[in-house]
Amino acid sequence: MPIAMPAEIETITSLRGGAVAAIRSADLDRKTALAQESATRWFARTLSLRSPLDPALADRPGRPERPELVPPKHMEKRSLHTVKGRIALLHAIAHIELNAVDLALDIVARFATEPVPNSFFDGWMQVAFEEAKHFRMVRTRLRDLGADYGDLPAHDGLWQAAHATRNDLTARLAVVPLILEARGLDVTPALQVKMRETGDMESAAVLDVIYNDEKGHVAVGAKWFRFLCARERRDPARTFQDLVRANFRGSLKAPFNDIARAEAGLTLTSKSNS
């Protein structure tokens, strides 16, 4: 006998409607289920892109009462050689992956009226599906260690980047996949090594999955950034630099994972700006 899905998932109105419903959900199990079910139906071409019945896009994604959101400078750093330290790192990663779910869905929902091919939405729904998978994997690992998402504070910088680029798809692609996700390619290999050094092979295996999938996510961003630049006859490298200066606060420092960035097709920028 098939398992009945929640009514909200049964009544997805369109791809945009499913994405909006997932973004708005404060129940994280429902959020990830909506994201993955919307992706599955879209890939099967059983959903339209948009519908007059779609709910309105929220200014902020739905979240449970915890974790408490604090400024990044207030986030405590701990050694990975302790269980508490590994929990803190995994909690931070879970928070990043949860935001990544909403960011991928927001690109789909917010820019559903853009004149782009359906393959644009294919790419971002694949990203949303995999980010939901990542969040669940990290949360399961946290629970294995006696913790859960929400136990520690987290910061709100990722969604601030989405808000800053809410009216410009090219800027969104420059800031989110080409800066924020690309940064994950730079820092994750060292974390994988440290996890293995501590003997936490289970957490290292989770990071392996995330790292390999994120290369594809950055590649999706690079592909469509170039597409938009070509259509508007703009130089990708110069456009990227201009958009970063206008929309991204902060600087990035070494290490830069040149091999992973090249595998993701991220060759349109210099290290100083990417």
Q: Could you give the domains of the chain?
A: 77-264 (1.20.1260.10)
**Does the structure show a pLDDT above 90 at 154?**
yes
pLDDT tens digits, 218-246: 999 999 999 999 999 998 888 888 888 88
pLDDT tens digits, 18-49: 999 999 999 999 999 999 999 999 999 999 99
pTM for this entry: 0.89
Q: How far apart are alpha carbons 159 and 180 in whole angstroms?
A: 11
Asked whether 22 and 34 are in contact (CB, 8 A), the reply is yes
Q: How far apart are alpha carbons 110 and 189 in whole angstroms?
A: 33
pLDDT tens digits, 117-153: 999 999 999 999 999 999 999 999 999 999 999 999 9
The contacts of residue 43 (CB under 8 Å, 6+ apart) are 122, 125
pLDDT of residue 50: 97
Percent of the chain with pLDDT over 90: 67
Instruction: Break the chain down into helix, strand, coil percent, rounded to 5.
Output: 65, 0, 35
Which residue, 93, 94, 86, is CA-closest to 32?
A: 94
| Residue bearing the bigger pLDDT, 235 or 258 | 235
Q: Residue 77 has what DSSP assignment?
A: P
Mean pLDDT of 209-213: 95
| Residue bearing the bigger pLDDT, 58 or 1 | 58
Percent of the chain with pLDDT over 70: 86
Q: How far apart are alpha carbons 185 and 215 in whole angstroms?
A: 7
Type and span of the H or E element at 157? helix 157-164
Q: Residue 254 has what DSSP assignment?
A: S
Q: How far apart are alpha carbons 168 and 101 in whole angstroms?
A: 19
Which residue, 158, 150, 163, 164, is CA-closest to 177?
A: 158
Q: Determine the angle formed by the axes of helices 118-144 and 83-110, rounding to 10 degrees.
A: 160
User: Which residues is 154 bridged to in the sheet?
Assistant: 69
Using CA atoms, how far residue 106 sits from 18, 71, 159, 249, in Å, is: 11, 23, 10, 21
